[in-house]
């Protein structure tokens, strides 16, 4: 059995004269979630389309559990489930009809199709919509059906391109949780241009900009390399800096004026909400709060000026 599910070596691809990706190299091992982060047009979708056999690379090698995607695509694709950015749904079909069709496409034995459909509906939380037309489902449930088609054949690797794009906050939380559950017994690649989505979901990160990898390591290491987010708060009765530093996730506290403070914090922490609640309970009389989140461009610039030693993806 291969130690890695995915191994990509020297991957290049160009459209006409323009290179979309250049010299992409990474490995992904079994189980867990790897985030593929990059701005729009960075090369994420091209990389995933090549990885899943939708697009043939200009040069380089893609191995899925040791199987070359270019020379033996059918065997390699049996091990992959793919949800592209625009989910491949047939809106005029019911959930049952669509997933049954997908089971046939995935060459699941006829005697096991009904069981496979029932199991994946239950796992993705759409069993109560079995007879409903997909076109009549909300965006969140359509996305769940899209994820269901990607895992119906129990693949070793699930590739999700912008799976939370266009969803409301509650739907995003639900889809995040579903992805985490799926990743307990298989590998997941989660692509997004939104940093907070990757930070909230993934253990490892591969960052692409301009078609090239600019960072690949664990999420903990990534968070250590970038500057923390910050907020500026104005309070009528501000507490001492030590009291603000005691809030979980706060990295630094600097008073700009007698009543205005800048707090730098871990990007995964929800400092603003906690600060508002503490202000009410402790009568700090919070007057104004402004978030100063790092932009993706700023993070790329930070990383380009730092030296790091990437670890093995897990």
CA-nearest of 207, 225, 226 to 215 is 207
**Spatial separation of the C-alpha atoms in residues 267 and 72, rounded to whole Å:** 42
- Rounded mean pLDDT for each run of 10 residues along the chain, 314 residues in total: 84 92 92 90 93 95 95 95 92 98 96 97 95 95 95 96 87 91 93 86 92 90 75 93 91 92 82 89 92 66 55 42
**Spatial separation of the C-alpha atoms in residues 282 and 85, rounded to whole Å:** 46
Structure tokens at 283: 């009568």
Q: Is residue 197 domain-shared with residue 275, that is, in the same domain? A: no
**Spatial separation of the C-alpha atoms in residues 312 and 199, rounded to whole Å:** 18
Q: Is residue 212 domain-shared with residue 150, that is, in the same domain? A: yes
Do residues 121 and 130 touch, judged by C-beta distance below 8 A? yes
For residue 148, what is the domain's CATH number? 3.40.50.300
Structure tokens at 54: 């939708």
Q: Is residue 241 domain-shared with residue 115, that is, in the same domain? A: no
Question: Is 47 part of a structural domain of the chain?
Answer: yes
Total domain count, the chain: 2
Q: Is residue 213 domain-shared with residue 281, that is, in the same domain? A: no
Q: What is the pLDDT of residue 313?
A: 43
Q: Which of 209, 224, 239 is the last residue of a domain?
A: 224
Q: What is the pLDDT of residue 314?
A: 38
Question: Is 46 part of a structural domain of the chain?
Answer: yes
- Residue range(s) defining the domain that contains residue 259: 228-293
Q: Is residue 208 domain-shared with residue 253, that is, in the same domain? A: no
Helix 95-105 and helix 139-151, axial crossing angle in degrees, nearest 10? 30
Q: What is the pLDDT of residue 311?
A: 45
Question: Is 313 part of a structural domain of the chain?
Answer: no
Q: Is residue 196 domain-shared with residue 251, that is, in the same domain? A: no
Q: Is residue 201 domain-shared with residue 258, that is, in the same domain? A: no
Q: Is residue 144 domain-shared with residue 268, that is, in the same domain? A: no
Q: What is the pLDDT of residue 296?
A: 63
Question: Is 253 part of a structural domain of the chain?
Answer: yes
Q: Is residue 174 domain-shared with residue 289, that is, in the same domain? A: no
Q: What is the pLDDT of residue 111?
A: 96
Question: Is 304 part of a structural domain of the chain?
Answer: no
Question: Is 60 part of a structural domain of the chain?
Answer: yes
Question: Is 298 part of a structural domain of the chain?
Answer: no
Q: What is the pLDDT of residue 261?
A: 93
Question: Is 312 part of a structural domain of the chain?
Answer: no
Q: Is residue 145 domain-shared with residue 259, that is, in the same domain? A: no
SS3 category, 153:
coil
Distances (CA, A) of 45 to 49, 91, 157, 306: 6, 24, 16, 26
Q: Which residue shows structure tokens 């009528």?
A: 236
Q: Is residue 213 domain-shared with residue 243, that is, in the same domain? A: no
Q: Is residue 117 domain-shared with residue 254, that is, in the same domain? A: no
Q: Which of 173, 190, 224 is the last residue of a domain?
A: 224
For residue 276, what is the domain's CATH number? 3.30.70.1560
Structure tokens at 93: 């079909």
Q: Which of 170, 189, 224 is the last residue of a domain?
A: 224
What is the CB-side half-sphere exposure of residue 98 using CA atoms within 13 A?
28
């Amino acid at each position: 059995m291969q130690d890695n599910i995915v191994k990509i070596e020297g991957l290049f691809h160009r459209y006409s004269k323009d290179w979309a990706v250049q010299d992409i190299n990474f490995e992904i091992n079994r189980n867990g979630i790897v985030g593929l982060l990059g701005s729009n047009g960075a090369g994420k979708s091209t990389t995933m389309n090549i990885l899943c056999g939708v697009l043939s690379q200009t040069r380089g090698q893609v191995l899925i559990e040791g199987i070359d995607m270019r020379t033996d695509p059918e065997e390699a694709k049996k091990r992959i489930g793919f949800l592209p950015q625009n989910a491949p749904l047939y809106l005029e079909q019911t959930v049952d009809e669509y997933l049954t069709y997908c089971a046939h496409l995935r060459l699941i034995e006829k005697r096991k199709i009904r069981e496979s459909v029932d199991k994946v509906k239950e796992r993705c939380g759409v069993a109560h919509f079995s007879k409903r037309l997909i076109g009549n489902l909300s965006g969140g449930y359509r996305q769940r059906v899209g994820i269901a088609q990607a895992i119906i054949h129990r693949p070793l690797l699930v590739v999700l391109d912008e799976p939370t794009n266009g969803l409301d906050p509650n739907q995003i939380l639900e889809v995040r949780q579903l992805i985490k559950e799926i990743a307990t017994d298989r590998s997941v690649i989660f692509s997004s241009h939104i940093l907070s989505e990757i930070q909230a979901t993934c253990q490892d990160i591969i960052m692409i900009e301009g078609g090239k990898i600019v960072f690949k390591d664990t999420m903990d290491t990534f968070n250590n390399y970038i500057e923390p987010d910050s907020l500026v708060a104005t309070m009528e009765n501000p507490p001492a800096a030590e009291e603000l530093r005691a809030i979980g996730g706060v990295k630094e506290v600097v008073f700009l004026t007698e009543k205005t403070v800048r707090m730098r914090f871990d990007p995964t922490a929800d400092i603003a909400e906690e600060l508002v609640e503490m202000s009410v309970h402790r009568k700090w009389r919070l007057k104004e709060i402004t978030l100063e989140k790092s932009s993706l461009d700023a993070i790329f610039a930070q990383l380009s000026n730092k030296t790091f030693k990437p670890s093995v993806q897990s």
